Chains A and B, each alone.
Chain A
Amino acid sequence: MKTIIKTFLLFSMILVMSSCESFLKEDPKGKQMVETFYNTDIEAFDGLMGLYSRVTNDANGLKQNFIVRSEACSDLLTYKPVGAADGQSFPKYKLSPGNVPLIQIWNHCYSAIYGANSYILALSNNTRSKISPEKKIQYIKEAKFFRALMYYYLVMFWGDVPLLTEPTNMQNTNIARTPAIQVWVQVLQDLTDASTLPEKKDTPNGRISKGAVLTLLAKVHLIQNDFNSAKQVLDQISGYSLMADIYDVWSTQSKYNNESIWEINIDKGILPLQGNPMLSYFLPLYADFQGTNATYPVNDFLLIMTEKDSPRTKLFYSKKLLSSEVSANYKGEYKYTTDSGEEKSIIFTNATEPLYSHIMKFTDFSTVGTKFEISDCPFNLIVFRYADVLLMKAEVECELNSTMNTSLAYLNQIRKRAGETQYSLTNEIGLRQLNNQIEMREAIRNERALELVGEGHRFFDLKRWGNEYALAKLKASRTAQIQGTTFCYKPEDLTNIQEFRLLWPIPEGEINGNSLMKQNPAY
């Protein structure tokens, strides 16, 4: 018996030693694979939401860096002297290929482009899919809009960039730069394809509608100085109007209002937390804002242009101190009106940098009081709004020189709503007179600065008006100074304002990893 047991054990041992290949199969439970996704309407929709997530919910893109970094390169903002060197490099025009936010922006654009490319390919090529044809067509249009949007930012920041319209082959990642002009062709193509999306009224909130596509399309035409095409596109943007009261534009009570063309929803009390990280670059130091450090306050060049105590100025900026007001006890102040009409004021008690004025316009104090965290706040981010369209219309009319009156009408809509002095082509009392097209042009350009400050358009506007114009404005902004206050630009910052720096340097990782990549000149 014993022998039998032992023999049995020995044989079972030998049996056990024999191989069993399936044991080593990796079990990807709970994981979604690229190859097996995108088959049904729901999967296609969730794939699209993945693109929305990348494009609208990433601090390296629209939610923060696209806007704050480009705005910092404009003539409207300055920097906090104790801020991080990388952050200061934008307004100081000292960008290097190793700059971290710069690298993040580049990486973000291409990551979103890869996502859009692989999404478009997956949807177009999927023969066994159960996706309804209308959904498929609509989702691909939205994906194409995002691809165009990313290339828009890439070209505006870097000029010629690698153009990819299909998922990258990972075995060959050396890709040369495509001339900007050809990239614009692709962008126009994608936007034209997407421009048949439904109007905003037929689109769920937050999704891309025809209006958003056309706004971007108009901007691309303007960049190419194609005013006729721009006019054609702008005229198609319909169904929007200015909010009567400028306080309602960003009010949490009027999200998705009639002025908003494309808006990214941000809300408090959602987990994972959905904040508005952009605010921390603009808002001042103040205990109740938590986590804010005002990397980029506004500069005196902008403040000189504002009309003191107009509703727009009062909404947009915290109070700028005059030298006579500087004392150990005074720190900075912002006044706002609550819903019940009560006037309130916030004193920035623990601010150590009191001498700056800050952009406050995105923050709706009246509904949430002063206690909020950047990581958890309800302030939506409006990417495109009708005021921008109106000003583009004014510009197009002015450039086409058809009738200055049309242009003036658009411009004055903005001025009126801002509560600031309107313009006139004749000598009217109480109005500012514009004598010719040149003055009109400059008025429109300045108005874009005043109305759209902090919204991420100014740097691109300056560039499309020509490098010479941009450099002049940038230099003027770095020497402008309100009498009696300290200004954080240093004289040497002016010497960095050079034409080649209007294009950012290609990030170092790209240069090192891509043998066909060439650096922008002079870097």
Chain B
Amino acid sequence: MADLEIKSVSKSFGSVEVLKDINLKINSGEFVVFVGPSGCGKSTLLRMITGLEAETSGDILIDGKRVNGVDPARRGTAMVFQSYALYPHMTVAENMGFGLKMAGETKAAIRDKVEQAAATLRLEKLLERRPGQLSGGQKQRVAIGRAIVRNPKVFLFDEPLSNLDAELRVQMRAELIELHRRLGTTMIFVTHDQVEAMTLADRIVVMNAGVVQQYGRPLDLYDDPDNRFVGGFIGSPKMNFLEASVAEATPDHVVLDKIAGSDRSLRLPFSGFDRSIKQVAIGIRPEHVSLGAGAADEIPLAVSFAEELGDVTYVHGKLPAGSPVTIRSDKTRYGGKESGNMALDPSGIRLFDPDGRRLRGNGS
């Protein structure tokens, strides 16, 4: 196991800049997930760590040693591909042993290591089969086994669960967590699914358009997003965003009005609000919004439809300005109302400036 440092790494393909000045430090033994929408650069970053792509500028260090330009097989990394990339003409044992064979190990040594890895992944009975005879989950495990056998310092996963059906995915997630616990190796996992990120990661790197949006523990990202993108990306259903104007800003509070096109206003304790900001977006998660009884500071909404799942109800509506909102209610059922008011729980409010940056104030 080793720590990994990415220093000011950028990558362009021709004139297209795919990664812009990435800086990350991943500690030894951590399970870090790179997550973001398609095209955000997460896979490219992964491939640069393993050496399949070269960085345009910047350095990558594994265990303190600079690995730029070092042959992919010699970096001490191992990768599990999205399509598993198993060799169809070789048995499972041969697939897992191929890397060792290339490294020149003896047949006996190869057999031992393969059997060990196979035991870890419960593949002992499948060693003589070919990939074509395996199920998706089994192929997945062989791909992991092929990586384990080489005793890497860093494990890399490129969207390995995307090809599995939902039920299998949940099962494999559990197995991966168990694997990490057992091996303790540094693991980097790329996915576009934020649920996977939240369940697997020690820390999450959220990326968008080649830039790291935020890097931190899952719940920290959930509770304390750095910017609008992270707020909207993490958590399902998505965070609601209500546009509002700044009516008044004093050193200890701020008054926002014209919230989501309504005439309601809200007064929030906020120390050190930047007076140059005139418009904000109020970010608030569905669980911090409720259907209210009609108090003065509630915001009117028209209900579009409701999802009643039994234990939880999601009410989807439209606010006066036309923006959508999702309300989550655990205790009260919806009851068929067509319009109503929604109340905001101030503790769930996160403010963002027009550029999407999070407004934190001093000590709030």
Q: Are A and B physically bound partners?
A: no
